[in-house]
Structure 1
């Protein structure tokens, strides 16, 4: 069967889109989907460990979200503009790939001014290139050292909540739109399956003897980009930086050889490990850029279970979990999630696919 985009649609009432996180990270709901039996269970996220034993593996994505959404003013007119930092192109030259809104007003040569809350000018940038209809390359003018520049840049930024949350970032988001194990700065969106893990749950994982190898995949906006082709084989993913250290591959491969559960925590962890598969189908140390798009049918090599959130219709994320869980079972699970009024998307509830 050739996978088509229209197969991955479902009806979601807007009221089920979570605008805020659950009160406690590990007290969101957890739908458990068993691929062998087709059974669907309804639990709380803190019940996750009931399904795992000593020497199993949770593969975490340790990427850290930076405050990528900035608001500035255009020279002369003073028009307010949004600048969304995507990635740094050149550290020394302070060149960044960004998205701008409204794009039609931002042209090459325009200067952009960024002030603090008191109205003091903190940074100035110049638009040096057009990359896409909304994409620009900008250069920040800043003479002092890089550490000071970064400190100011991040102080001016806001937590980059996805647009569908449909509210401005608040104080709570700085903490909750970040995993407790985040280390490597570089993501413009959180690896949301990881948001459910609390400090308390991480301690329980450790006590139970479950291994927690970490990989890095810096989540970009391309993960959420609309797919505009019906034939999924024609869709091209934006490349994202990933790193699988030797320590992670050693732990994962031992668990795999011992026939233990190897659980990818989120679609980003899954993409990272599937981008680092050796010739004999084990995990290898790797670093680079991946544009891997996983859609059915797909032969997964490393993980035999995964934790994931409930995703937007017709997105690469939903398509991947359908490849992993089986199309019919995942569509049934989503129908059940809507019926049971689970909370959806980044701040929503979770699913464990066994």
Structure 2
């Protein structure tokens, strides 16, 4: 019987990670990273350039094409002190990320505030120059404090600038908190995947950072199919699990965007293997199953399409007879009935031991932090073998976390 992930103790999913094992910088060559291959529990050491020769024949690789926005703003109080504003999600006038980035003149975002103790009242401001050389000013006013975050009202001149351009020109890349240095011009290139397209993430889908145009070309030449989903990675991906049991850890919500063409591609590809490039791609694919299953279990449901944290565990018995094909078909029917080719939904899905993966047969991913939800996902995929993978990586000097080395996990 599968364990109930709500009863899992996060302290059981740890390993000794010292600071000198965390990669502070990317390698000069993306594809020079090392690649740990775990195939049915047998581990071998490769380089990332070897990836095309290690993939299962006929595999479909699914990439997350989100692009990291420059979400850190360093503003000044009238007295000169610096305040850091880390934009997490839009609140008004649009909650839709795409619309919020196109908003002109003013908007409200939920933010993390750094060095804000002396910011008692009044606005902070930031002067900057746009990519076209126009001088501009951003003003930020704190409206309310909510559970460790603040609602920040932004206004800027020239007012006709979209907020996306404000962030591009005035913001900094939100490097992970364990990379303790300012972002650089090199990070502007290397903390994005070469296939990044849809702006909206505040953290990179780091499994994709190793891919180069040459590797993508080789995959195509070898006959591997590829597809793209969009999950805009939120700052919650770095949120430590502080609760003793997972039942008390709230998962963050992240928006996903998937086309009907991708759904059809997944259907046509079955039962051949699907390899998720990164934990965000895997969570998106598994979210698709539960969105479709939810439509079949509750055909009269209305409102936003959302997969909640515990939905797969609470509906496991009810969904036992729903195949991946049926779930994907239900989503296609849903889109067709609404006359759209694009699925927009949200996910809070927690994948942990006890979860049965439906749509994915393998994962390309970096090495994740101890006691993190990302490590729980790897443990759900590999079972107890996750420990051997991480012990091997530690013993053989692999580089860890966002700018670190990679792994191909084939359970």
Q: TM-score, normalised by structure 2?
A: 0.80
The offset of 1:58, in angstroms, is 0.4
Does structure 1 retain, via aligned residues, the 8 Å contact 2:241–2:373? Answer: yes
Residues 195-344 of structure 1: pairs in structure 2 closer than 5 A = 195-256=209-270, 259-277=271-289, 278-279=292-293, 280-282=323-325, 283=328, 284=331, 286-326=343-383, 328-344=384-400
Secondary structure (helix, strand or coil) at the match of 1:124 reads strand
**TM-superposition CA deviations, 1:151-209 (whole Å, max 9, x none):** 23321111111110111111110000000110100000000001111011111112122
Residues 109-128 of structure 1: pairs in structure 2 closer than 5 A = 109-116=121-128, 122-128=137-143
Tell me which residue corresponds to 1:62: 65
**What is the alpha-carbon distance in structure 1 between the residues aligned to residue 136 and residue 146 of structure 2?**
27
**What is the alpha-carbon distance in structure 2 between the residues aligned to residue 5 and residue 153 of structure 1?**
36
Tell me which residue corresponds to 2:340: none
The offset of 1:121, in angstroms, is 6.1
Residues 73-92 of structure 1: pairs in structure 2 closer than 5 A = 73-75=76-78, 77-89=79-91, 90=93, 91=100, 92=103
Q: Which runs of 5+ in 2 are unaligned?
A: 94-99, 294-322, 333-342
- Tell me if 1:133 matches 2:137: no
**What is the alpha-carbon distance in structure 1 between the residues aligned to residue 169 and residue 158 of structure 2?**
17
Tell me which residue corresponds to 1:18: 23
The offset of 1:308, in angstroms, is 0.7
**TM-superposition CA deviations, 1:292-315 (whole Å, max 9, x none):** 111111100101101011000001
Does structure 1 retain, via aligned residues, the 8 Å contact 2:63–2:208? Answer: yes
**What is the alpha-carbon distance in structure 2 between the residues aligned to residue 153 and residue 23 of structure 1?**
27
**What is the alpha-carbon distance in structure 1 between the residues aligned to residue 255 and residue 157 of structure 2?**
26
Secondary structure (helix, strand or coil) at the match of 2:24 reads coil
The offset of 1:54, in angstroms, is 5.9
Does structure 2 retain, via aligned residues, the 8 Å contact 1:178–1:190? Answer: yes
The offset of 1:135, in angstroms, is 3.1
The offset of 1:131, in angstroms, is 2.1
C-alpha change, 1:153 and 1:162, in structure 2 (3 Å) is same
Alignment root-mean-square deviation, CA: 1.9
Does structure 1 retain, via aligned residues, the 8 Å contact 2:355–2:380? Answer: yes
The offset of 1:143, in angstroms, is 5.2
**What is the alpha-carbon distance in structure 1 between the residues aligned to residue 154 and residue 75 of structure 2?**
14
Does structure 1 retain, via aligned residues, the 8 Å contact 2:190–2:209? Answer: yes
Secondary structure (helix, strand or coil) at the match of 1:253 reads helix
C-alpha change, 1:156 and 1:141, in structure 2 (3 Å) is closer
Does structure 1 retain, via aligned residues, the 8 Å contact 2:142–2:150? Answer: no
Does structure 1 retain, via aligned residues, the 8 Å contact 2:282–2:360? Answer: yes
C-alpha change, 1:173 and 1:114, in structure 2 (3 Å) is same
Does structure 2 retain, via aligned residues, the 8 Å contact 1:213–1:247? Answer: no
**TM-superposition CA deviations, 1:120-163 (whole Å, max 9, x none):** 7621122222222243332224453243x532332111111111
**TM-superposition CA deviations, 1:27-58 (whole Å, max 9, x none):** 10000112x3x201100011111123664200
- Tell me if 1:7 matches 2:12: yes
| Length, aligned pairs only | 345
Q: Which runs of 5+ in 1 are unaligned?
A: none
**What is the alpha-carbon distance in structure 2 between the residues aligned to residue 219 and residue 350 of structure 1?**
19
Deviates more, 1:198-207 or 1:151-160: 151-160
**What is the alpha-carbon distance in structure 2 between the residues aligned to residue 293 and residue 137 of structure 1?**
29
**What is the alpha-carbon distance in structure 2 between the residues aligned to residue 182 and residue 121 of structure 1?**
27
